[in-house]
């Protein structure tokens, strides 16, 4: 597997979707949760989507319940929450696992291209690091994602060019997306 276009995922209705359908677009692939302290990231994500979508930008949203059970609902309940609370219009896929033996192959691939490098410095980041380490201990070597709202930036050729942890400033994410759209 060389690019994200080599993967097939399930949409929230259970249909197979080849990521090759997104060829030529800049993608931001995100694992999300509806009950997380980072759930408000939906707001700047949606704003970015509305501003940049017509320039060839897509956000692919993959709910995940592996982090302290913060996405417990069904795919439909999660979708309703996101559209009603945050007005999300970007594609939302079926809930997946991103760590462990049942990790979705897409996220194992993404993390192999841009491994976890920590949440950064500061008291909040250190606290998240400690909490995530306790949560993720059960996944051992197959811990690919540190927490909800990890974002992977994909260029127009399907290559992973950046990884953003949930603690990264959303302005930094937006600037990287805009730069990728210029290439």
Which residues are known catalytic residues?
A: 36
Task: Report the C-alpha gap between 38 and 169 in whole angstroms.
Answer: 11
| E-state strands within the chain | 8-10, 16-18, 26-32, 57-63, 151-154, 160-164
Q: How many residues does the chain have?
A: 183
Residue 139's nearest CA partner among 96, 95, 94, 102 is: 102
Instruction: Quickly tell me which residue has 């439909």 as its tokens.
Output: 76
The rounded distance, in Å, linking the Cα atoms of 136 and 143 is 6
Please identify which residue in the block is written with the tokens 């249909």.
15
- Comparing CA positions, the residue from 111, 139, 41 lying closest to residue 82 is 41
133's tokens = 């380490």
């Amino acid at each position: 597997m060389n690019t994200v276009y080599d993967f097939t995922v399930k949409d929230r209705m259970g249909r197979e979707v080849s990521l090759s359908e997104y060829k030529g677009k800049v993608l931001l692939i995100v694992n999300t949760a509806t009950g997380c302290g980072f759930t408000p990231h939906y707001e700047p994500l949606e704003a970015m989507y509305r501003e940049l979508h017509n320039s060839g930008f897509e956000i692919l949203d993959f709910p995940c319940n592996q982090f302290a059970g913060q996405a417990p609902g069904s795919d439909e309940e999660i979708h309703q929450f996101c559209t009603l609370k945050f007005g999300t219009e970007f594609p939302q896929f079926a809930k997946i696992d991103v760590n462990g033996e049942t990790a979705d192959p897409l996220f194992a691939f993404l993390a192999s291209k841009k491994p976890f490098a920590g949440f950064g410095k500061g008291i909040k980041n250190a606290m998240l690091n400690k909490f995530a380490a306790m949560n993720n201990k059960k996944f051992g070597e197959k811990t690919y994602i540190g927490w909800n709202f990890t974002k992977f930036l994909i260029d127009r050729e399907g290559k992973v060019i950046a990884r953003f942890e949930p603690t990264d400033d959303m302005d930094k994410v937006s600037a990287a997306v805009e730069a990728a759209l210029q290439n």
